[in-house]
Amino acid sequence: MAGLRGCFFLAAAVVLLSLALASSATDFDFFYHVQQWPGSYCNTKNGCCIPDGGNPPADFTLHGFWPQYAACRSALGIDDDDDGLLVVENAGELERKKKKKCWPEFCSTEKLSLAQISDLLVDMQLTWPTLSCTNKENLPFWSHEWEKHGTCSNLGQHTYFQLALQHQARYNLTAILAGAGIVPSGEATYYLSSIRDAIAEATGSAPNFACNRDESGEAQLLEVYQCLDLTGTRPVNCTLPKSGCTDKVKFPEV
């Protein structure tokens, strides 16, 4: 009887541990793997700033690796009202907060540790640099990506950054587009559908895009959104954000 009782308590402990682990995991549906084109980022009136003071890379660089929901979710389980906003009290003041959340964020207070990603830093300096003139250093940029998105990925720090780098290396977007005759140019414009088809054929899933405007007001390709499964290794089809792009876009030289 004592042996049976011991087995029962052991089984119960395993179940409780499993439930605790499950409750600590973040629930999401897929990752956005987002790369940006430096030529478009820098080709605006705001320009860009490179951490080492050099030239921006003539290749797509990583912006982020973001856990996402397949459909936006209602915050706190509260039903939508007419304007989609919730009135809450914060420090004695009423603030209107959006009820919808389309991704998890800031899932823990864990800070980025360079010691955990030390073997990745050379690659990250080259392929995941900040281009912002507001924040000219890489470390705050990487820390922001980890704290806002990485802490919700159910991955450790090393695995989180490594998977993002591996996908970028596996599917080099600059080479994929060049193979389809889509190359950076100061004059040419390209059909967005041609860019989408080239990437879809190479990766097995259709991407989406974000565009910005150059100083003359023409749309240019800024970011490529690719969807990856929950392991962060396999391209999948998923809900994609509105692109804000026109049918034809520029792909400016760096």
pLDDT tens-digit series, residues 118-129: 999 999 999 999
Cα 103 from chain centroid (whole Å):
10
> Does residue 26 have a pLDDT over 70?
yes
Classified as helix, coil or strand, 149 is coil
Q: How many CB atoms lie within 10 A of CB 42?
A: 18
Please compute the mean of the pLDDT values over residues 236-253 and round it to a whole number. 88
Distance of alpha carbon 136 from alpha carbon 131, whole angstroms: 7
| C-alpha distance across the termini of the chain, in Å | 75
Cα–Cα distances (Å) from 37 to 61, 130, 152, 253, in that order, read 7, 12, 26, 10
Q: 137 an active-site residue?
A: no
Indicate which residue of 33, 89, 110, 145 is catalytic. Answer: 145
Q: What is the total residue count of the chain? A: 254
Distance of alpha carbon 242 from alpha carbon 72, whole angstroms: 14
Indicate which residue of 33, 147, 149, 167 is catalytic. Answer: 149
Indicate which residue of 63, 147, 167, 223 is catalytic. Answer: 63
Q: What is the pLDDT of residue 94?
A: 36
Q: What is the pLDDT of residue 108?
A: 97
Sign of torsion, CA 60 64 65 67? negative
Distance of alpha carbon 93 from alpha carbon 90, whole angstroms: 5
> Does residue 8 have a pLDDT over 50?
no
Least confident window among 167-176, 182-191, 223-232, 241-250? 241-250
Q: 253 an active-site residue?
A: no
Confirm if 195 and 219 have CB atoms less than 8 A apart.
no
Q: b or e along 83-98 (b: 16 or more beta carbons within 10 Å of the residue's beta carbon)?
A: eeebeeeeeeeeeeee
Q: What is the pLDDT of residue 75?
A: 67
Model pLDDT for residues 64-112, shown as the tens digit of each residue: 999 999 999 886 544 343 333 333 344 433 344 456 899 999 999 999 9
Q: What is the pLDDT of residue 85?
A: 39
Classified as helix, coil or strand, 235 is strand
Residues 6+ apart with CB under 8 A from 159: none
Q: Which tokens go with 247?
A: 């049918």
Q: 167 an active-site residue?
A: no
Q: Which tokens go with 130?
A: 């900040």
Model pLDDT for residues 130-170, shown as the tens digit of each residue: 999 888 899 999 999 999 999 999 999 999 999 999 999 99
Least confident window among 18-27, 104-113, 177-186? 18-27
Average pLDDT, the chain: 84
Q: What is the pLDDT of residue 90?
A: 44
